[in-house]
Structure formats: C-alpha cells, structure tokens
Chain A
Amino acid sequence: MIPEVGHFALILALSLAICQGVLPLLGAYRNDVAMMAVARPAAVGQFVFVAISFICLAWSFLDSDFSVLYVANHSQLALPAIYKISAVWGAHEGSMLLWILLLAAWTVAVSRYSSALPDTFSSRVIGVLGLLSCGFLLFTLLTSNPFERLIPAPPDGADLNPLLQDPGLAIHPPILYAGYVGFAVAFAFAIAAMLSGNLDRAWARWTRPWTTWAWLFLTVGIALGSWWAYYELGWGGWWFWDPVENASFMPWLAGTALIHSLAVTEKRGLFKSWTLLLAISAFSLSLLGTFLVRSGILISVHSFATDPERGMFILGFLGLTIGGALALFAWRAPSLDSSAGFRALSRETFLLLNNVLLVIATTLILIGTLAPLVVEVIDGGKISVGPPWFEIALAIPLLPLVLLIGVGMHTAWRSQAFKPLVAQLKLPAIVAIAAGIIVPTFVYGRFGLLLVIGTTAGFWILLVSLIQPMRSWRRKPGTPAITRGALGMSVAHFGVGMFAIGVSIVSAFNVEADVSLRPGEQVSVGGYEFELRGLRNVDGPNYQAVEGEIEIRKNGEFVAKLRPQKRTYIIQKNPMTEAGILVSWNRDLFVALGDPLGNDAWSVRLQYKPMIRFIWLGAFVMAFGGIIAASDRRYRLYANAKRPLIKTSEAPA
C-alpha cells in the first residue's frame, strides 16, 4: 500500500508540475494575472507530493519491504537504520527521486523569496523550473520507477553496496545534488531574462545569491566526495579524474566563472550575454554529468546500472532543454549586449581573465572526459586519458588564475592606477615568495620549481585575502565597515589559498609505502615508526572484519594506536578497506590493511600525507565565504520586500 501511495503521489506531482510549467509561462506571455497566480501554489503542491513520495520510499526502506524491487536490491534486514535512509538515494531510481525533491525544494524557496520580483518575471522563473521538474518526473516514472514491486518478495534483501555504507557518503549525494539542482535556478533566471528581453543590473542582483548558494552546496558536495574517496576506497588518493568526478568538477568551474561574471553584470552592466551563456552552461554541465553517469556511455568506477533506454531519454531531454536554451540565446542575446568601456588595468579585465581561464579549464576537462568516446565514435579506435594528462592540462590555466586572483581582488572597477596597486601588493608578494621558497625547502626539505610556484601562489592568496578584512578591522571610527560581499570574497579566496598549499605540499611530500608486516614487526615511514601489534576478528552488524592494531611512534615516543579493518560484507561478499587515519592539522597518518600474504604476514599500506586536510578545509572555507557573501544586506532588501522595489515596464504603474 505505502509504495502505491508513493507512486501515485509522484504521478500527482507530475500533473502539478505540468500546470506549474505551462500556465505561468503562458500567463506571462499573455499578461494574464490569473494564470500567473498558478505558479506559486502549483510549486508548493508539487513539492508536497514529491515529499510524500520520498517519505513513502524511505518508509519502505525502514520497514524492510522487500516486495519493492528497489528496496530488495539495495537494503537488507541487518542494515543499520541510518544506512536504510541513505540507501534511498544509494542507487539510480531513488537518487532521481532525491534530485526531483531538491529541485522542488529550490523552486519553493524561489517562490517564497521572490515577492520583490515583477510577477511576469517570477512566473517565468517558476514556470521554467516546472518544465524541468516535468522532465525529471517523466524520466523517473517512465524509465526508473523506484516503487516497482517484486512478487513474491524475497526473505531478505541484497544489501546496500558496502562502499556506500559510510556516513560521508550518506550526506555527500544530497549536498552535491543540491548544488547541481541549484544551478537550475540560475538557468531559469537566464531563460526568464531572455524571454522578457530585459536584462538589467537588478537581474544580476537577483540571480547572484541563488547562484552563490548553489555553488557553495556543490563545493561542499565535491569536497565530501573527495574526502570519502580518500578514507573509504583505501588507497589514500583524493581525486581520481574519474568521469563522474569530472562531471561534478565541470559545473563547479562553470559556476565559479558565473559567480564572477555576475559580479561584473551587477556592478557595471557588462558581460551580459556571456553571463547568460555561463548560467546556461553551469546547469547544462550538471545535466551532462547526470547523462554521463546514468547512461553508461562512459566507463567509470561509480557509474550507475546502465540502460540504453534511460540514456536515450536523458539525451532527448538534454537536447530539448539545452538546445532550447541555446536557441533562445542565439535569438535574444545579440540585442541584450551593451558596450561600456573599461581600462586595461581594472577589475573588469581581471574578471574577464578569470572567466577565460576557468572556461579553458572546463573545456580541457570536457575534452579529456569525452575524447575516448569521440575518437571511438569517429573511427572506432580506442584511447584513454589518464590522470597525468588532466594534471598538466589543468595546471596551465589554474596556476595563472590563482596568481591573478590576488591582483584582481584589489583592483578598482573601471580603471585602476598602477602605482598604488603595486604599493599595496608589494609586501604580500615578497612575503609570499619567501614563504613559498622557505616552507618546502626548509620545513619539508626539498626544492622544486612547480612546487615553489604552487606554495607561493597559495601563500600569496592567503596574505592578500587578509588585506581588506584587516583594513576594515583597523579602520577609524565612523568609516564604513567591509561589506558582507567583500568579506565573503576575501574568505572564499583565503580558502583557495589553503587549497593551493594543501595540493602543492601533499603532492610533493606525500610518502606511501606498501609493506609486508608480521605481528611484532615495525617499519619506518615519513619519520614515524609503525608497529603491527596484532590482529583480531571483529563482527559488525552485517560484516565480519579482521582488525589490525598498529602502534605509531615518533623517535620512540608513543603517538597513537590505529585500528584499520578489512571487512567482508556477509551478503555481497566483497572485501572493503576501513583505513585507520590519524588526523592532525598539518599531516595525516594513514594505515590500511591489504591482504594476508601467508605465514601471519599482512600487506599493509602506510602513508604520510602532509597538509592534506588543507584541501578539504580550503573547500569548506570557500563555501563559508559563499555563505557570507550570499547574506549581504543588499540581497536581503530584495528578498524581504513586500512590494517590487524595481518597477519594470511590465509592472503596473
């Protein structure tokens, strides 16, 4: 019964999504107030029914209703309750439902906080979001119904993939999807602007906080995924250039470019068609990621079950959505562009460079991800693109970008005089170069050109990001404090600096050793002694494990005891590594059990990872900067206004 309620609620949600997608757009076109008034109630109704459907699926999981095919395939009786919940989005069908739920939630948020927008505009935004919901709901109902029954029901389920039985992965998809789906809002704003033919600075001001929120969710989502891969996959890497990872990184880069281009559109009314194109691209790349992951067109470690029918459906949807948006762009964008001048040395120039470099980076990843497919389709040959290619291809645009951030953020709009800029940045530059040379050479004991450039760039941004907040902190009474927008920018860029330092140091000084250890034996790695004290068997709720006890000492002094496990999940039989990790702000010590080598010996993977925490910490700081910037006063004024603050030609006088 419960699954049928869920299925029916999803069908009702589709009906409401059709109303939400068609009537407000038609109403905005015909200036029909009654039709436009459908937008908000329909959006709320759609959300309610999707939520009911989602709760029904979660209920089926908690209830272990194995007569539901999806539950039978992805759960079992002994699965801990928290993973029964996260199993809802642990595979294709349920994760689509989560995607739809989040899209509906974003839509409700837009309709709640858009009272200051002209009715025609908000109707178009909600309408476009409704059309997107229709597409995903149809996809789910027609090709990926999570409520399909399995009669007779098996006595127990097939268990959730053990890789996914982890707290990090329980929260990674919802946050990542919130980011992907959030770009739909920027997309809808772009379509609405093109439909109305009216793109002013107010438009950019409305779009900015939404884009920032989507971007910061995506940032946190990607960081969580990387963190999970680091401790759960068992070999201690943090990024693998897997097609699915690239699929999340491309919208992130495009979204980052969009945030910066929106700044120019808001402050100066420039880059309009470029901003529109980026808003379309960020969401299109999210859709492309969904397509790549779910169609099985590329091989990847975490692709979902493949099905050509699903692939064709998403491809059709992709073609309609992105194709429609780009056709509208080709038609409307030429009339929207305005030309105003700016000097070669100005904030605009640096933001233009930022956009060019980020778009180059996105394109290079796109090429690397799709090249095997393109080559195969064209001449049937097969190539593969490995991590070394991506690393070099990305360093080329991103290293200059990181260096330019520091100059760009202290350059004035329109025109900046050269001398005061140099005077302001001379000291941080000298300190950064000194620190960039000293830290790798003397703290870690090695000098390398790329390494020094990387660490210098990191320190450089850390230092220059402090200039504005420090100046505000030490300002004279009565002078205005730093705005939330500027503070958020400084904080986010500080995060970029932390990230750059983390990546540079860990990739240069990371020590890995795969050794064979018997109980009682010890080995020295990265200045620490690791001793295998013993092994014992441990039983978990749905797995059995061998647990090693490894004592770590430095110069004979006790540091910590780690207990890495090698788990075998009872139903799915696959072995899983639970690494033992000793975390500290400036280094991780990582221990993972490999395989028994006979004669009591085990292969053990030991790693010393300096500064690796800065990679994720940097990402979280970037996201935190996003929160600060999105809470700027000037956005709140718009969100909370009861009446339109901006009168447009379409609003009644």
Chain B
Amino acid sequence: MLRYLSPLLFLAVLIIVFAKGLGPERNLNELPSPFLDKQAPKFDLPGLINPDEQISSSVYAGEVAIVNFWATWCGGCRQEHGFLMELSRKNEIPIYGIDWRDRRVEALNWLSQLGDPYRVSGFDADATTGIDWGVYGAPETFLIGKDGRLLHKHLGPLDRNTWETDFAPLIAAENGAQQ
C-alpha cells in the first residue's frame, strides 16, 4: 500500500516547502539579506590575478563602492559585463569583484578578453564568502556605504536602468549625507 501512497506523500512535502517559500518572510524582490543597513560581512580572500596577495573587505574602507559576485559560467554575468565596463570607464564608482565558484584560468581568460572592470578581484572558489554574504546565484551586486554598511543588494544582471533607479539615488544620498 505504501508503494502507491508514496507519490502523494512526496507531493505533500513539496507543497509544504513551496508554501513556506512563498511566505511573506521571503520576498526575493526585496533584499532578503539580514545585513541591510548593517555592517556588510567581512571577507578575506586570495586575489584572483595574484594568488599570493590577500584581498580583504578593508580595500573599500571609507568609500562608496560596489561588490560584484560573478563567474565565467554565468550568463547573466556576461550580460552585465558591458555595463560594468562602462561604469569603470566612466569612473562612476569603484567596483570590487568576487569571482565565485569558478576556475582561475577561465576567469583570467575572461578578464583578459572582455576587459577587467574591477579595481581588484578576490577568488572565492569554494563559495565560503558567498555563503557569508548570502549569495543565491551569480551575478549579485552589493552597494556598500562609506562606513561599511550594506545599502542595497541587486540580484541578477545590472543595467543602466536598474542603476539609475536603484543605485544612483542611494549613492547620491550617501555622498550628500557625509558632506
């Protein structure tokens, strides 16, 4: 009998998971990060380009910056890469990269072929930093304030539209408030 009931039991479990997943406490459009307006998590990673160098979250101390989690296998990262290049060319904001769950050779290849928009990139092969930051899937971009607070988190590829509506006002406010 259990043999014939097991699909039903499996469905019941699945539905409970889905119902919890849809619950109000989990809205993916907004920031699910518990760090919003709090100090962003620290990291300390080997450099992507130079493995001997240690790159830590102190690199952006005192400035408004974005931290971008990316990987070469990720389509959205390729999609947003042009925009990141544009940001870095226009010097709009310092961009720090964290190459996440990736292979170093491929990542270096990517940067040399597509261009490197990052001031510096950390290499997070086993995703420990990604877990600290609550990274769900690449690309994800975090906006960090001057005092190291997390101001905003964006899931998925960045583009000019999102930048102007979600990031620019926060950056302007952050710069204005501290002057």
Contact = CB atoms under 8 A, between A and B. Distances in A.
A289 to B, nearest CB: 13
B21 A373 contact: yes
Interface in A216-241: 233, 235, 237, 240
A296 B29 contact: yes
A315 interface: yes
Contacts of B19: 312, 315
A318 B11 CA distance: 10
B59 interface: no
Contact of A323 (B11, B75, B161): B11
Contacts of A312: 19, 22
B156 interface: yes
Interface in B68-86: 71, 73-76, 78-79, 82, 85-86
A603 B115 contact: yes
Nearest to A242: B75
Contacts of B115: 597, 603
A372 B127 CA distance: 14
Given A326-B8, A330-B8, A594-B82, A299 B28 contact: yes
A446 interface: no
B113 interface: yes
B114 A382 contact: no
Contact of A382 (B15, B71, B135): B135
A388 interface: yes
Contacts of B5: 330
Given A372-B136, A374-B17, A382-B135, A594 B114 contact: yes
B17 to A, nearest CB: 5
Interface in A372-412: 372-374, 376-377, 381-382, 384, 386-388
Contacts of B147: none
A37 interface: no
Contact of B11 (A306, A322, A384): A322
Interface size class of A (residues with CB under 8 A): 35 or more
Interface of B: 1, 4-5, 7-8, 11-12, 14-15, 17-22, 24, 26-29, 71, 73-76, 78-79, 82, 85-86, 89, 101, 110, 113-115, 131, 134-138, 155-156, 159-161
A598 interface: yes
A574 B17 contact: no
23 contacts: A235-B78, A281-B7, A295-B18, A295-B22, A296-B28, A297-B28, A301-B156, A315-B22, A323-B8, A329-B8, A330-B7, A373-B18, A377-B17, A382-B134, A382-B135, A386-B71, A513-B113, A514-B114, A573-B161, A574-B160, A594-B82, A595-B82, A603-B114
A319 interface: yes
A326 B24 contact: no
Nearest to A331: B4
Given A233-B79, A296-B29, A514-B113, 6 more contacts: A277-B7, A306-B29, A326-B7, A386-B71, A386-B74, A386-B101
Given A381-B131, A382-B134, A376 B85 contact: no
Contacts of A273: 4
Contacts of B11: 284, 319, 322-323, 326
B20 to A, nearest CB: 5
Interface in A428-484: none
B32 to A, nearest CB: 9
A297 B113 contact: no
Interface in A488-516: 513-515
Nearest to B74: A386
B155 to A, nearest CB: 6
Contact of B22 (A242, A308, A387, A513): A308
A49 interface: no
Contacts of A237: 75
A297 B136 CA distance: 13
Contacts of A235: 75, 78
Contact of B136 (A240, A326, A384): A384
B75 A329 contact: no
A296 B159 CA distance: 20
A333 B4 CA distance: 7
B22 A297 contact: yes
Contact of B4 (A281, A297, A334, A370): A334
B114 A376 contact: no
A103 B173 CA distance: 52
Nearest to B71: A386
A386 B73 contact: yes
Contacts of B20: 377
A6 interface: no
A275 to B, nearest CB: 14
A329 B4 contact: yes
Given A299-B136, A382-B134, A514-B113, A311 B75 contact: no
